[in-house]
Amino acid sequence: KVQHRGLAETSRGDLDACALAVSIMGRVFPDFKLGWLVDEIAPHLPKELDFRHEAENCARARKIFERWADVTVPETFPEVSGGRVLTMSFEEGVNGTAREAIEADLGLDARRTARLVTRAFAEMTFSGGHVHCDPHAANVLVRRGPGGAPHLVILDHGLYRDLDLPFRLEYARLWRALTLADTAAIKASSHELGVGPLYPLFAAMLTQRPWDDVANPDMNSLRS
């Protein structure tokens, strides 16, 4: 992984442009509070552009999955890496959402594969507290493991967020409430997480389902 020359310098101008755009938007549309965007990006973008930081994230992720035989995080080689070059082990796999390739080419069960993806990212979120912030399909590869079981390869460890234990416990309570359609508990956990009266929208964003489905106590509503 090789970073283009001058990218880190250019990114500082990008941050300034973003801050200016947010400031103008705030004056034109005062009800839209977008300053948090700059506050979120500013400290993390320099880290993402320092590949030594990514190598550290790889090491922490490997620690989380060290006892998992079905999840691989690429090994890094510090002797041939630096701030703008990151050398890693080459790992085979197909795109994580390429269902036809997963089933037809690899001969894997898609549902079993999906469960493994869910377990792996739940492990990072709720147990490890060290969460991959860019888990799109190209960063989650699937290959055939021993005995025909699915095997995951998790790539691109440039940006992580650390979640403290109180947050993880409350977030777990929220997901339990979402699963059980417990609207009072959803509201309470959302309040603790700082969402306030927007908890129906928050629940819909997390589950990618409308609030009426989230609040439906019929367990069949979970099938989707």
Nearest to 68 by CA among 151, 164, 175, 156: 151
> CA 84, CA 7: separation in Å to the nearest integer?
10
Q: Which two tokens stand for residue 79?
A: 């002797």
3-state helix, strand, coil in the chain (%, to 5): 60, 10, 30
Beta strands in the chain (DSSP E): 71-72, 94-95, 130-132, 140-144, 150-154, 160-162
> CA 44, CA 32: separation in Å to the nearest integer?
23
> CA 116, CA 102: separation in Å to the nearest integer?
13
Asked whether 51 and 156 are in contact (CB, 8 A), the reply is no
134 among known catalytic residues: yes
Catalytic-labelled residue, pool 39, 105, 134, 212: 134
Active site residues: 134
